[in-house]
Amino acid sequence: MRSNISRALASLSLLAALGPLSARAAPRAPYSLPWQLRPTAAVSVVRSDTSLALSSADATGDSVTTATLLLVSYKVTPSLAPLVRVGYVDHAPGTGSPGAALVNPVLGAIYSHDLSETLRLGFFLGFTLPVGMGGGNTPRAATAAAARSGVLTRSAMDNAMFAVNDFTVFPGVGLSYVAGGFTAQVEATVLQLTRVRGEAVQQDKARTNFTSGLHLGYFVHPAVSLGGELRYQRWLSTPSTVTSEELRDNLTVAAGPRLHFKLSDSLVLRPGLSYAFALDAPMKTASYSVFQLDVPLVF
């Protein structure tokens, strides 16, 4: 009898010891980080993101634009990560003077919610501070043109940063499926732009914009993933700049590889290079080719 009791107690002790191990969550499947869509996870990251756009137009000739964005996000809880994003644009048009501009900074936050082991929702709310260069009633023409050039350089997905006369509020939501090295993600965002300065040069008091996208990614090796992205932008209102239907929306696609280096237990470097091109006007008409170098450091 005593031996049976001893064996039972030993079994309970073993189960108690193994319990914490078995209760630990299994490591999540690797997530393919989108190129221009937002991540659905709340993370602490410093992210340098530079897009180089080559374009040509009959009226202005060949242009080169570089838009560099820097994002810093800090995870204050497992689900919530406030962020700040700043940007700089350098524009060399085919004709006319080159220009450069610091554009509107973004303040916002991502809230992540797991629906299951494979499905995750990412909610976003952001707004811009309308302090970017090239705004107001008497902007320097080359500076204002540089700020505007950032729109198409970023596939019209980050319009709030380049609308330097506007205060913009933009909520959004993303849904990702992650399993077995494969990632599929969709996203939608509504941007409400309200003019706060520059009434002499900007006719519209308010504008409403919509952006969406699909990202597909796959890890061909633990250190290498391939990702493709379809992006769509559309004006829901009709600003004065939308003088034809071909100026109302943009459809672009991007693809490229990303590397994943674990520098330490808490640092992961995930550099990637993608190429994007347009599927319709106005970017296709202007023969846009966009190269993006994205360097996130997750900590």
**pLDDT exceeds 90 at position 71:** yes
Preceding amide of 282 cis, omega within 30: yes
Tokens representing residue 264 in the block: 């330490």
**15: which strand partners?**
none
d(CA 282, CA 251): 9
Domain limits for position 229: 29-298
Q: Give the model's confidence band at 61: pLDDT under 50 very low, under 70 low, under 90 confident, else very high.
A: confident
Residues facing 268 on adjacent strands: 262, 298
> Is residue 138 in some structural domain?
yes
Look at strands 166-179 and 119-128 and give their pairing.
antiparallel
Burial of 216 (0-12, 13-18, 19+ CB in 10 A): middle
Residue 223 has pLDDT above 80, yes or no: yes
Specify if 6 maps to a domain.
no
> Within its chain, how far is the Cα of 5 from the centroid?
61
* 152-186 pLDDT tens trace: 999 999 999 999 999 999 999 999 999 999 999 99
CB 103 within 8 A of CB 147: yes
Q: Is the pLDDT of residue 128 over 50?
A: yes
- In this predicted structure, the answer to whether residue 7 has a pLDDT above a threshold of 70 is no
Residue 202 domain flag: yes
The verdict on residue 176 lying in a domain is: yes
On average, the pLDDT of the chain sits at 92
Cβ-contact 198, 165 below 8 angstroms: yes
The CATH number of residue 235's host domain is 2.40.160.40
pLDDT in tens, 180-210: 999 999 999 999 999 999 999 999 999 999 9
Rg (CA), the chain: 23
**Residue 164 covered by a domain:** yes
- For the stretch 13-40, pLDDT in tens is 443 443 443 334 456 899 999 999 999 9
Distance of CA 188 to the CA centre of its chain: 12
Helix (H) or strand (E) holding 205: none
CA dist 107 and 86 (Å) reads 9
Per DSSP, helices labelled H in 154-204 are 159-162
- What percent of the chain clears pLDDT 90, i.e. is strictly above it? 88
Query: Could you tell me if residue 112 is inside a domain?
Result: yes
- Does residue 13 belong to any structural domain of this protein? no
Let me know if residue 16 belongs to a domain.
no
- For residue 60, name the pLDDT band (cuts at 50, 70, 90): low
Compute the average pLDDT of residues 274-298.
Answer: 97
Does residue 120 carry a pLDDT above 70? yes
Domain total in the chain: 1
Residue 57 banded pLDDT, cuts 50, 70, 90:
confident
